[in-house]
Chain A
Amino acid sequence: MNFSSTKQTWFANIRGDLLAGIVVALALIPEAIAFSIIAGVDPKVGLYASFSICVIIAFAGGRPGMISAATGAMALVMVTLVKEHGLQYLLAATVLTGVLQILAGVLKLGALMRFVSRSVITGFVNALAILIFMAQLPELTNVSWVVYAMTAAGLAIIYGFPYITKAVPSPLVTIVVLTAISMAMGLDIRTVGDMGELPSSLPVFLLPDVPLNLETLKIIFPYAATLAVVGLLESMMTASIVDDLTDTPSNKNRECMGQGVANIATGFIGGMAGCAMIGQSVINVKSGGRGRLSALTAGTLLLVMVVFLGRWVSQIPMAALVAVMIMVSIGTFSWDSVRKLREHPPSSSIVMIATVVVTVSTHDLAKGVFVGVLLSGIFFAHKVGRVLRVDSASEDGGQTRVYRVLGQVFFASSEAFIAAFDFKEVVPKVRIDVSRAHFWDITAVSALDKAVLKFRREGTEVEVIGMDEASATLVDRFAIHDKPGAVEQLMH
């Protein structure tokens, strides 16, 4: 029984949470605008979404200290939906995403995360970083040298300013300075205001303006399913990153449902689907945020600033946002995974790289993770398949050949299993002792049948002993696994 109280997660760290919330809010604004632009919607869609997801997750989430909002991973999934069907279908898809996520939480699908290996997670994170970076490139192509200069100056401030003082968020300084320069010099460069409508009021409740029929469901369901999967994947990954950083546990199923609730509410106030953000959560923890209060502060402050400073926000040059987003992509990238590429086992590195390559080429994080998980499964089967040994000995003065099979027999090792028998040897009797082997599937059983049949056709008498123990695993009765002695029984 866990006695961690509500008070503990809300008010244990008031000062730290408030300050971190401010830092996060300032960093969220450029991100929310940038991700709206990736998705092809007005900045207000991302800003409303960031506000509502951030605030709702503060209450409903299962991982205090984690920041959720409109994210790049989700924005990338919705691009074609917005392009082909428009904003209203995106809002409907957002609501459906939330419903699916709540379902996942109720069915406790968070536990499925254990099939997603470390390498796949790293690949996901790296691919995400690369995609965020690539999404900035349109802002940097076919533009005047001024934009390059501004972006470079922005990056210089972001990474240089902390050497002067760490009391002020440097991305904020970047935005303020670049906006001031652009306004003062009257530079003719693209600003946030050129990208679409900004929020002018607090969000209001509205129903997505789509026909409620099967046709609509057909359009939005594939997107909603992908959004739900991607959102939960990134949220679960971010949660475990925050778990590691703060050395505290989290409630993954509550987080699934929290994400769902947040997305449903967001769809109804005209926001796009979102999920947990790796970069922002790292910034939050780094700035001292540990509790739920920091997410609440960040979300509320974001809305207040955008609504009341909207006139100024629209003047922010895109170059400043690009600089901030490049920082986010660099900070999200797992540098360790590249440095240790050679140290890690080749199979792990291949899984990681495959996840990155598939994701970047399809722009779909779900596909990348699918390939990664599949590959890690194949590699694992390959490795376990090597845990098989067949010893043979001659008995009864050369009248009987005894084969003792030890280890795992299944689809990946059945070939090796058959190859271990010497069918050319002429003996009257063969005994195959499988009492210390495990037959995991139909392939394994048919491989044994095949071996027996082959011996018989050569005129050899075959006896199989210990089949009961060996095929006990085939029955798939997992109930014995949690009883004491089950491991010994399985591993002999």
Chain B
Amino acid sequence: MNKVYACIDGLKTTTAVVDWAAWSANRLGVPLELLHVLERDPDSTAVTDFSGAIGLGAQEMLLQQLSDLDAQRGKLAQEAGRQMLASAKVRAKAAGVLQVDGRMRHGEFVDTVIELEPDARLFVLGEHYQAVAASKLHLDHHLERVIRAVKRPVLMATDEHFAAPERFVIAFDGSATAIKMLDTITRSPMLKGLPALVAMCAPDTSAAHEQLRAARGLLETAGFEAEETLLSGEPEHALPLLMESQGAALLAMGAYGHSRIRHLVIGSTTTSLLRHCKVPVLVLR
């Protein structure tokens, strides 16, 4: 558990992902590994034969034909991936990361991330990690599936230009998970030295203020410069608004607290926050 994984796909968020990953690796003082997963898109199998006729050696011929097609496609994808990794490596080195490695894997993206999880300290992903096949239809981005699948923190980079954050905002809801998240933040070197703002969406009651003050106290004991703010309204609207007024900032929040079933019925705050936020979000479990 000592690497920052930057998951790159060659789309427009790639440079932002590399920059954010480089920044995190420098802050955490750990090596950076660039990960590119070659997924197979079953949809791209171009078939023009609907004759349904099978003759002598049909099976062998079909196997030959399909594997030739895959071989060609695989070669192209590998070459493109190699170039992408090479240029990302140059970029990360320029950002001052001492140890940068590249890695390409075949398979499904989320499976690969789960396999690599034991080595990972943090995953950095683009806002719209290239979604093939099923994900195109459903708003089930790889990002969301990764956040659900892994227990390590995930940093979502947006496609805006990278600017080193000058402060960070903590989305706080007073729950036990949120307090655990505060604990994680205070023990990690990643955000050390940056001023913090604890934001909570709740009715204006003394209990809420009490909780906020306690959270702020936790941060201050750990040596953070911290402020607090109470917002009204739904977090998925109020928080993005707040972030816009904060300049170069990072939003830290806990992930998917409730069950998959409840998510199906009422949707998840985390998902809609991820969709609405224009700034990078650090999701902690």
Using a CB–CB cutoff of 8 Å, the interface residues on chain A facing chain B are 1-5, 7-8, 10-13, 15-16, 19-20, 22-24, 26-27, 158-159, 161-162, 166-172, 241, 244-247, 278-279, 282-283, 285-288, 290-291, 327-328, 330-336
Q: Is the CB of B53 within 8 A of A159?
A: yes
CB-defined contacts of B48 to chain A, threshold 8 Å: 166-167
A336 CA / B49 CA spacing, docked (Å): 22
Residues of B within 8 A of A290 (CB): 42, 45
Measured between beta carbons, the chain A residues less than 8 angstroms from B63 are 244-245
Choice from A26, A169, A278, A330 contacting B55 with Cβ under 8 Å: A330
B60 within 8 A of partner (CB): yes
Contact (Cβ within 8 A) B56 A335: yes
Q: What residues make up the interface of B, taking CB atoms closer than 8 Å to A?
A: 40, 42-43, 45, 47-60, 62-63, 66-67, 70, 108, 110-111, 114, 133-134, 137-138, 140, 145, 149
Q: Which residue of A lies closest to B146 (CB)?
A: A3
Could you tell me the distance in whole angstroms from the C-beta of A279 to the nearest C-beta in chain B?
A: 6
Interface class of chain A by DSSP: helix
Verify A331–B58 contact, CB threshold 8 A.
yes
> With a CB–CB cut-off of 8 A, which chain A residues contact B53?
158-159, 161-162, 169-171, 327, 331
Sample (5) of A-B pairs whose CB atoms are under 8 Å apart: A11-B134, A162-B53, A168-B51, A279-B54, A291-B42
Partner among B45, B51, B108 whose Cβ is within 8 Å of the Cβ of A3: B108
Tell which of B49, B54, B108 has the most Cβ of chain A within 10 Å.
B54
Chain A hits for B66, CB < 8 A = 245-247, 285
How many whole Å from A16's CB to the nearest CB in chain B?
Answer: 6
CA distance A336 to B63 in the complex (A): 12
Give complex CA distance A335, B53 in Å.
16
Q: Which 10 A-B pairs have the closest CB atoms?
A: A331-B54, A288-B47, A169-B52, A335-B57, A162-B51, A12-B133, A7-B134, A331-B58, A3-B110, A13-B42
Closest Cβ neighbor of B148 among chain A residues? A3
Chain A proximity of B106: nearest CB distance (Å): 10
- B134 adjacent to A247 (CB under 8 Å): no
CB A1 to nearest CB in B, in angstroms, measures 6
Interface contact B50-A336, CB-CB below 8 Å: no
Contacts of A331 in B (CB 8 A): 53-56, 58-59
Q: Smallest distance from the beta carbon of B53 to chain A beta carbons, Å? A: 5
Write the chain A residue with the least CB distance to B133: A12
Q: In the bound complex, do residue A7 and residue B138 qualify as a contact, i.e. CB atoms below 8 Å apart?
A: yes
Contacts A1-B114, A8-B133; is A166 near B54 (CB within 8 Å)?
Answer: no
Neighbouring B residues of A23 by C-beta, 8 Å: 50, 52
Q: Which B residues touch A12, using CB under 8 A?
A: 42-43, 133-134
Roughly how many angstroms separate A12 CA and B45 CA in the complex, as a whole number? 12
Decide: B45 and A4 in contact? CB cutoff 8 A.
no
Residues of B within 8 A of A13 (CB): 42-43, 45, 133
Whole-angstrom CA separation of A10 from B42 in the bound complex: 12
Partner of A161, one of B51, B67, B140: B51
Q: Is the beta-carbon distance between B60 and A286 smaller than 8 angstroms? A: no
Q: How far is the CA of A23 from the CA of B49 in the complex (A)?
A: 10
- Minimum Cβ distance to chain B for residue A421 (Å): 51
A20 to B42, CA, bound (A): 14
Alpha-carbon separation in the docked complex, A246 to B47 (Å): 13
Nearest opposing residue in chain A for B65, CB measure: A286
Q: Is the CB of B114 within 8 A of A169?
A: no
A16 contacts B54, CB within 8 Å?
Answer: no
Give the complex CA separation of A10 and B58 in angstroms.
Answer: 26
Least distance between A65 CB and chain B CB atoms (Å):
9
B-chain residues with CB within 8 Å of residue A327 when the two chains form the complex: 53-55
A169 — which chain B residues lie within 8 A by C-beta?
50-53
A123 to chain B, nearest CB (A): 15
Task: Determine whether the beta carbon of A162 is less than 8 Å from that of B49.
Answer: yes
Q: Is the CB of B52 within 8 A of A283?
A: yes
Q: How far is the CA of A473 from the CA of B133 in the complex (A)?
A: 51
Question: B42, B48, B53, B59: which has the most chain A beta carbons within 10 Å?
Answer: B53
B51 touches A170 (CB 8 A): yes
CA distance A161 to B140 in the complex (A): 43
Assembly CA distance A19 to B48 (angstroms): 11
Expressed in whole angstroms, the Cα–Cα distance for A335 and B59 within the complex equals 9
Could you tell me if B55 and A288 are in contact, using CB atoms closer than 8 angstroms?
A: no
Residues in chain A near residue B49, CB distance under 8 A = 162, 166, 286-287
Contact A286 B62 (CB under 8 A): yes
| B57 CB, min distance to chain A CBs, angstroms | 4
User: Given A3-B145, A287-B47, A290-B45, A333–B56 Cβ distance below 8 Å?
Assistant: yes
Given A285-B62, A334-B59, A335-B57, the answer on whether A16 and B51 have CB atoms closer than 8 Å is no
User: A428 to chain B: closest CB distance in Å?
Assistant: 64
Given contacts A3-B110, A286-B62, A335-B57, contact A27 B42 (CB under 8 A): no
Cβ 8 A contact of B52, one of A3, A27, A247: A27
State the Cβ distance, B150 to closest chain A Cβ, in Å. Answer: 10
* Distance of A330 Cα from B134 Cα, bound (Å): 36
From B40, B54, B57, B59, give the contact of A328 (CB < 8 A): B54
A173 to chain B: closest residue by CB: B51
In the bound complex, residues from chain A placing their C-beta under 8 Å from that of B57 are 335-336
- Please report the C-alpha to C-alpha distance between residue A246 and residue B70 in the assembled complex, in whole angstroms: 10
Residues of A within 8 A of B62 (CB): 245, 282, 285-286
Scoring B63, B133, B134 by chain A CB atoms within 10 A of each residue's CB, the highest score goes to B134
Name the residue on B nearest A17 (C-beta). B42
A286 to B60 Cα, complex, angstroms: 11
Rounded to whole angstroms, the CA-CA distance of A158 and B52 in the bound complex is 9
Looking at the complex, which one of A167, A245, A247, A283 makes contact with B54 (CB distance below 8 Å)? A283
Q: Are B111 and A3 in contact (CB under 8 A)?
A: yes
Contact of B50 among A3, A5, A19, A246 (CB under 8 A): A19
CA distance A244 to B63 in the complex (A): 7
Q: How far is the CB of B70 from chain A (nearest CB, A)?
A: 6
- Indicate if the CB atoms of B59 and A282 lie closer than 8 Å: yes
Cβ contacts under 8 Å, A4 to chain B: 108, 111
- A166, B51: Cβ atoms closer than 8 Å: yes
- A408 to chain B: closest CB distance in Å? 36
Query: What residue of chain A has the Cβ atom nearest to residue B112's Cβ?
Result: A3
How many angstroms between the C-alpha atoms of A213 and B59 in the bound complex? 45
Minimum CB–CB distance for B154 against chain A, Å: 15
* A24 vs B51: C-alpha distance when bound (angstroms): 10
CB of B134 within 8 A of CB of A8, answer: yes
B87 to chain A, nearest CB (A): 29
B113 to chain A, nearest CB (A): 9
Q: Which residues of B contact A3 (CB under 8 A)?
A: 108, 110-111, 114, 145, 149
Pair B138/A16 contact, Cβ less than 8 Å: no
A169 CA to B108 CA, complexed, in Å: 34
Contact among B52, B60, B67, B114 with A171 in the assembled complex (CB-CB below 8 Å): B52
Q: Are A287 and B52 in contact (CB under 8 A)?
A: yes
